[in-house]
Structure 1
Amino acid sequence: MNIIQYIYQIYSNSSGIEINSKKVKEGSIFIALKGKNFDGNQFAYEAISNGALLSIVDNKKYVSCKKIIYVKNTLYFLHRLAVYHRYRLSNIPIIAITGSNGKTTTKELTRAVLSKKYKKVHYTKNNFNNYIGVPLTILSMSVDTQISVIEIGASHEKEIEEMCYIINPDYGYITNFGKAHLEGFKNVKGIIRSKLELYDFLKKKNKLVFINGDDPIQLSNSLGMNRYIFSKKKKGSDINIEYLWKKNSLKSSLSIQNKEIVSPLIGSYNLSNIASAITIGRYFNISIKKMKKAIEEYIPNNYRSQILIRKNIKIIIDCYNANPTSMIKALTFFNEIQGTKIVILGDMLELGLFSNNEHEKIISFIEKSNISIAFLIGDIFFKTKKTSCKIRKFINKKNFVECMNRYSIQKTDYILIKGSRKIALESLIYLI
């Protein structure tokens, strides 16, 4: 019996895996991971004291008792343990979802739809979609799971390929190919290659991919694969969906088989996310009536496409994350709404050499728009050269807050708040 099999036997009777010693549950297994500013090995004994059955470390000097076990690399061990668990539960179908924008919303909508048929739907929680979160998500999958929806994020090439090896998905969907994490991918071609790693894996395994037939990149790169296609215009698609646009509506609506579905999600950019969840639901034989109920009941949270009304101002909160593609899509939608409008935008991070140019493009869009005032927050926006009478730049949130009382927003109809996660613009909501 090797170390993976030995630990897996203990894990099978444990309360789960934990990587934070302070959150250790009684009967769990602590895996000591290392980061730029921390070394989990230092907390191995603390985890045991807090009730962990075992602590797994990759530094021998912290092996201070029989319950602390040494391995060469704890992250690699975490991956191998997840692979072994998935192998043991290979009968459970998994849908993998990746893409530059909308993957969390799509995952949540898909989960909601599938829950109308399956009592035990496993899915990615929080933002556990990276090289640490994905194996932890797999290891949280119980034996009575009926179906799973797992989100894959990526900041560089070959990351999705590696996560697919851990997940071993039976189905896959790519939301889109946008300008996200350009610093790691170098260019848009790198982004496309990265996302298509999901297709490469599914094709080798002869598995099925869900395709947005209105996306030429998805269509051309899935030729020869088992695929299930939805589209608003392509003939011969498995599912035909009509996107409905109601002027000034802050809800998204579409129609399938002459039945209208109205989602609380704002923005035309969310229509394909809703459509993909419906398509997956139809593939798994869920009735349109049940899917309509699931979609219309789903309320966005975590600062993704949320709407808050304060002082008669409708505030659109979409500040969980931002990249050039999602920012332009949000601004385009916002520009189509009639009324007095203000935007509060934060820096878009992880763009590398493209950063300045992409921020300048955002300012150019605002200049030509019917948006009244744009408050731009962050060091990158602050250093841009473009400016206009409707642009106000602030080097940080503190500086913006100090200057807020100079500007009157009381006669404003709408405010859009959007920026990268690290900027945390949601802290400004209650100052309005």
Structure 2
Amino acid sequence: MLTTDQLYHKFQECSGVSTDTRRITPDCLFVALKGDTFDGNQFAGQALASGARYVLVDDAAVAANDPSRYLLVADTLLALQDLARYHRQTFTFPVIGLTGSNGKTTTKELIAAVLSKNYQTYATVGNLNNHIGVPLTLLAISESYEMAVVEMGANHQHEIELLCSIAQPTHGLITNVGKAHLEGFGGIEGVRKGKGELYDYLAQHGLTVFINSRDKTLMAMYRERLKTLRSETTFAEVAFYPAVDSAAVDSAAVDSASAPIKLLQESPVVVYRDTTGQEITTHLPGRYNFENMTAALAIGDYFGVSPEEANRAVADYNPTNNRSQVIVKGTNTVLLDAYNANPSSMAAAIQQFAATPAKRKAVILGDMYELGAESEAEHAALGKLIADSKFDLVILAGKDMRFALAYLPKAYYFPDKFSLHNWVMDNPMSDTYVLIKGSRGMSLETVVPFI
């Protein structure tokens, strides 16, 4: 069986890494992973026939086909992670690790856009942010880059700890802590502990952390680590945004008036006044996206990107990934935020949408996944919030959205998307501002063509 060092030499001969036979590129390394319903070892031959240079397998019988091209290891997933960890140690540039309950991907994209003004920057592609995606992200980074932004997602405790051990971030940011993946984390306190593993890694290794000083939960998590690590290795540097003095750090909250960047408008898109007094109009709606912007601007400032260039990057960013995406459909305007949903992000989106001026407003909302025993209560609470918002039209889809109906007697409810599609097609809207949001498994972006 190959050692990691031997495997790395083989990797250097390859054009890249793939775990999917549908995405084989010439001379890539195919990694045969196993899932609940598949065994990648069985597709290794197909990968070679499609152009892969080598295939990484953990089945000795399969490897016997051609030992020169079938690379045998004890466990392909662990080998992939070890290979990425080995490759990461060749980087001499900053690696920014990013996690949080909401806003990870948008914040990652904004940070990358800002840093790209000064540096060759690689950022996680799409949503490759888990125990497989992070290794693939790292293995795609070449020596030509000067900066990396690595998104790290998790749905249970100790996952961020694992991802940090692979990505080895030199700098880190938690966007926020909210009600996401409650089932896996075991409740909101489990979420806090799980996301806080990034702070733990940075503190224990004497590295730099960026903290939103307006977020009471993140500030409390920072103070907790100061207490437990004060006599041990702690953060090399803490960069607060907005900047605060030491007295404010020790207080219970930070005065938001101290923010050097002022939010002027949050709907239909964010407009803010920057540190030089200029007004910047963006393509993103909502106060929650303003927080994402301030993180990107703070990191840009830390790494020497000029305010003018950083603001230009933020203003130019226009999402095309089902996150805060504005789409015009005839006389209707659709706010497509259907990449994911949890109680925290759903509440923020609904409150923001309710505050947005519009002649007529409709919401099409789908189930929030991975809430476990809290699902009924969280969907019911969402129903009350929707009722209080007084939208002109409420459309709900998914098996757990039925729990919201107690507060919404006039809502239209569909247990499946087929029925939803048919109803929207048969009941055309006009002059309506529409919010579409739901968990990834709902794929509510499929509703857009019918509006």
Tell me what 2:74 maps to.
Answer: 72
Tell me how far 1:384 sits from its aligned partner.
4.8
Distance 1:392 1:190, change over 3 A: same
Tell me how far 1:48 sits from its aligned partner.
1.8
Q: What SS class does the counterpart of residue 446 from structure 2 fall into?
A: helix
1:374 equivalent to 2:397? Answer no
Superposed counterparts of 1:43-122, under 5 Å: 43-63=43-63, 64-66=65-67, 67-89=69-91, 91-118=92-119, 120-122=120-122
Tell me how far 1:385 sits from its aligned partner.
5.2
Is the deviation greater in 63-72 or in 134-143? 63-72
Deviant stretches of 4+, over 4 Å? 232-239, 405-408
1:8 counterpart letter in structure 2: Y
Q: What SS class does the counterpart of residue 445 from structure 2 fall into?
A: helix
Contact map agreement 1:97 1:103 (CA 8 A) in 2: yes
Q: What SS class does the counterpart of residue 144 from structure 2 fall into?
A: coil
1:213 counterpart letter in structure 2: S
Superposed counterparts of 1:293-312, under 5 Å: 293-312=312-331
- Aligned equivalents of 1:278 and 1:48: distance in 2? 45
Q: What SS class does the counterpart of residue 65 from structure 1 fall into?
A: coil
Aligned with 2:283 (options 264, 277, 280): 264
Superposed counterparts of 1:329-368, under 5 Å: 329-339=348-358, 340-368=360-388
1:398 counterpart letter in structure 2: F
Tell me how far 1:405 sits from its aligned partner.
5.6
- Aligned equivalents of 2:100 and 2:266: distance in 1? 28
Is the deviation greater in 173-182 or in 239-248? 239-248
- Aligned equivalents of 2:108 and 2:354: distance in 1? 27
- Aligned equivalents of 2:179 and 2:449: distance in 1? 30
Is the deviation greater in 72-81 or in 386-395? 386-395
What's the C-alpha RMSD, in Å, of the aligned pairs? 2.0
- Aligned equivalents of 2:422 and 2:162: distance in 1? 46
- How high is the TM-score relative to the length of structure 1? 0.95
Q: What SS class does the counterpart of residue 179 from structure 1 fall into?
A: coil
Q: What SS class does the counterpart of residue 240 from structure 2 fall into?
A: strand
2:421 counterpart letter in structure 1: V
1:394 counterpart letter in structure 2: F
Superposed counterparts of 1:149-188, under 5 Å: 149-188=149-188
Tell me what 2:333 maps to.
Answer: 314
1:231 equivalent to 2:250? Answer no
Is the deviation greater in 34-43 or in 107-116? 34-43
Tell me what 1:23 maps to.
Answer: 23
- Aligned equivalents of 1:390 and 1:250: distance in 2? 30
1:327 equivalent to 2:328? Answer no
- Aligned equivalents of 1:53 and 1:190: distance in 2? 43
Contact map agreement 2:323 2:339 (CA 8 A) in 1: yes
Contact map agreement 2:332 2:432 (CA 8 A) in 1: yes
1:420 counterpart letter in structure 2: S
Tell me how far 1:188 sits from its aligned partner.
0.3
Q: What SS class does the counterpart of residue 363 from structure 2 fall into?
A: strand
Query: Gaps (5+ residues) in structure 1?
Result: none
Q: Deviations over 1:148-178 (max 9, x none)?
A: 0000000100000000000010000000001
Tell me how far 1:254 sits from its aligned partner.
4.2
- Aligned equivalents of 1:405 and 1:9: distance in 2? 56
2:268 counterpart letter in structure 1: S
Contact map agreement 2:32 2:41 (CA 8 A) in 1: yes
Contact map agreement 2:425 2:450 (CA 8 A) in 1: no
Tell me what 2:408 maps to.
Answer: 388
Distance 1:70 1:115, change over 3 A: same
Contact map agreement 1:232 1:243 (CA 8 A) in 2: no
Tell me how far 1:145 sits from its aligned partner.
1.3
Q: What SS class does the counterpart of residue 97 from structure 1 fall into?
A: strand
Is the deviation greater in 253-262 or in 366-375? 253-262
Contact map agreement 1:342 1:415 (CA 8 A) in 2: yes
Contact map agreement 1:252 1:268 (CA 8 A) in 2: no
Contact map agreement 2:2 2:72 (CA 8 A) in 1: no
Q: What SS class does the counterpart of residue 106 from structure 1 fall into?
A: helix
Tell me what 1:242 maps to.
Answer: 261
Is the deviation greater in 222-231 or in 369-378? 222-231
1:362 counterpart letter in structure 2: L
* Alignment coverage as a number of residue pairs: 429
Is the deviation greater in 226-235 or in 296-305? 226-235
Tell me how far 1:369 sits from its aligned partner.
1.2
Tell me how far 1:65 sits from its aligned partner.
1.1
Is the deviation greater in 368-377 or in 389-398? 389-398
Contact map agreement 2:271 2:279 (CA 8 A) in 1: no
Is the deviation greater in 386-395 or in 355-364? 386-395
- Aligned equivalents of 1:254 and 1:359: distance in 2? 37
- Aligned equivalents of 1:265 and 1:126: distance in 2? 18
- How high is the TM-score relative to the length of structure 2? 0.91
Is the deviation greater in 241-250 or in 46-55? 241-250
Tell me what 1:425 maps to.
Answer: 444
1:392 counterpart letter in structure 2: Y
- Aligned equivalents of 1:92 and 1:170: distance in 2? 9
- Aligned equivalents of 1:426 and 1:15: distance in 2? 33
Distance 1:186 1:254, change over 3 A: farther
Q: What SS class does the counterpart of residue 406 from structure 2 fall into?
A: coil
